[in-house]
Chains A and B, each alone.
Chain A
Amino acid sequence: MHCRDHAVQLDRARSEFDAAGVALVLIGQATSRHAAHFRRRQGVELRVLADERRETYRAAGAKIATMGELLGPRSVSKGIMHSLETRGKIHQGRTIGHPAQLGGSMVIAQDGTVTWSHMSHEPSDNASPEEILAAARKAAHRASTQG
């Protein structure tokens, strides 16, 4: 549920990322067919890459949750709140992929430097679109002053 909500929120902010000159790309587990289905179903227009083997998750330093982190009160209560706020439009569907794999966000500059990252500590721990956008703008500014 958290990942759907997060993807939808980021998609709404995509024009701001475009304006900043920063590419915003989602990476999900499973196949490109699943990625296409996810985009259609959620109405997301962002590019989605399919990492069935979770190779990039490991390279990005994402972690696997414990049972306590996965089903802890913080994660569950946030999920219920999101479902209520969106009047049930965003809710937990069938899980495709490793259920305990956590995600995160990362800004990478033109020279390959990771200028900012936020890897999730539990399922509801996602950086807000505003926070990610601020980090993206900073990287774009740095690129324009160095280039």
Chain B
Amino acid sequence: MLGTVKERQRTSPPKRADALADIVLPDHEGDEVRLGDLWRDGPVVFVWLRHYG
């Protein structure tokens, strides 16, 4: 129900962001962004929102 899981999961943040680097996502204007390009020139903070609600 609601897509929940039965067993409690653990979070598993990586030590390096290599798996994120080549992911390409559209932004709010529809422009495609390769995530790795965002930290090429300096640190970046990503905040994952739960959902738009």
Cβ < 8 Å to B, chain A residues 110-126: 110, 112-115, 117, 119-121, 123
Cβ A69 vs Cβ B8 within 8 A: yes
Q: Which of B12, B16, B28, B48 contacts A39 (CB 8 A)?
A: B28
Q: Which of A34, A67, A113 contacts B16 (CB 8 A)?
A: A113
Q: Which residues of A contact B (CB under 8 A)?
A: 1-4, 6-7, 10, 17, 21-32, 34-39, 47-51, 55-57, 59-67, 69-70, 92-110, 112-115, 117, 119-121, 123, 132, 135-136, 139-140, 143
Interface digits, B23-45 against A, CB 8 Å rule (1 contact, 0 not)?
10111111001011011111111
Cβ A106 vs Cβ B46 within 8 A: yes
Q: Which of B11, B15, B45 contacts A25 (CB 8 A)?
A: B45
Q: Which of A6, A69, A100, A106 contacts B17 (CB 8 A)?
A: A106
Q: Which of B8, B36, B45 contacts A136 (CB 8 A)?
A: B45
Cβ A70 vs Cβ B4 within 8 A: yes
Q: How far is the CA of A27 from the CA of B1 in the complex (A)?
A: 24
Cβ B47 vs Cβ A27 within 8 A: yes
Cβ B35 vs Cβ A56 within 8 A: yes
Q: Which residues of B contact A (CB under 8 A)?
A: 1-21, 23, 25-30, 33, 35-36, 38-53
Given known A-B contacts A50-B26, A61-B13, A28 and B8 have beta carbons under 8 A apart: no
For the complex of A and B, the 7 pairs showing the least CB-CB separation, nearest first, are A61-B12, A119-B11, A97-B51, A103-B48, A95-B53, A139-B43, A117-B13
Q: Which of A2, A59, A103 contacts B19 (CB 8 A)?
A: A59
Shortest CB distance A82–B (Å): 13
Cβ A2 vs Cβ B17 within 8 A: no
Residue among B33, B36, B47 with max Cβ neighbours from chain A (10 Å): B47
Q: Which of B25, B36, B53 contacts A49 (CB 8 A)?
A: B25
- What are 13 A-B interface contacts by the 8 Å CB criterion? A25-B38, A27-B46, A29-B52, A30-B52, A50-B28, A63-B12, A96-B52, A101-B51, A106-B46, A110-B40, A120-B11, A135-B45, A140-B43
